[in-house]
Amino acid sequence: MVMWLFHVLAIFLLDRVGRRPLLLLGVAGQIIGLAILGAAFQFQQLASFKSYVAIGGLVIYVASFAFGLGPIFCLLISEIYTLKARGAAMSAVTVTNWALNLVVAVTFLTLVGILGHAGTFWLYGAIAVAAWVFIYRLVPETKGKSLEQIEEHWRAGKHPREL
């Protein structure tokens, strides 16, 4: 239900707010959700209500993903590539995305065994911080831009943030 509600929210906000702000806000929310999950497992003081804290962190994470990386990732990869490269580039990015999803799924229990529950969520949080910085520095805003304008921007060799 949370995923569905926040996907619908994203649909209404994408063309009003823009892709980049929603992406940054969504990843920031994921960082907060992961920090809460890490704290739920790290601090013994939370033992009496750990499950509520963990569920809260998980809901924040899912909601943030649902209006951030979830829908915007697919939209952006269809907009940022030139017409000539779009098919191959979208294929490569999609395969990479699913491969990394597989890596997370396959390594999760191993990481929990090595780092513990808290350490695993802290690690994922650190990766999310790196993703936020990457998005902030390199992901362009494509709201209100035609595919032709975006392609002309890349052909001119301009920085992504100048779009």
pLDDT in tens, 18-44: 999 999 999 999 999 999 999 998 887
Number of domains in the chain: 1
Mean pLDDT of 1-13: 90
Which band of pLDDT confidence, cut at 50, 70 and 90, is reported for residue 78? Answer: confident
User: Quick one: which H or E segment has residue 77?
Assistant: helix 69-79
pLDDT score at 45:
77
User: Does the structure show a pLDDT above 90 at 14?
Assistant: no
pLDDT exceeding 90 applies to what percent of the chain? 58
Q: Find the CATH number of the domain harbouring 46.
A: 1.20.1250.20
Q: What is the mean pLDDT of residues 118-142?
A: 95
Asked if residue 123 has pLDDT above 90, the reply is yes
Domain of 119 in residue numbering reads as 2-162
Return d(Cα 39, Cα 46) in angstroms, integer.
8
> How confident is the prediction for the chain on average, in pLDDT?
91
Length of the chain: 163
pLDDT band at 90 (very low <50, low <70, confident <90, very high): very high
What are the distances in angstroms from CA 69 to CA 14, 45, 90, 123? 12, 32, 16, 18
Rounded to 5°, the CA angle 84-70-134 comes to: 70
Per-residue pLDDT band at 147 (split at 50, 70, 90): confident
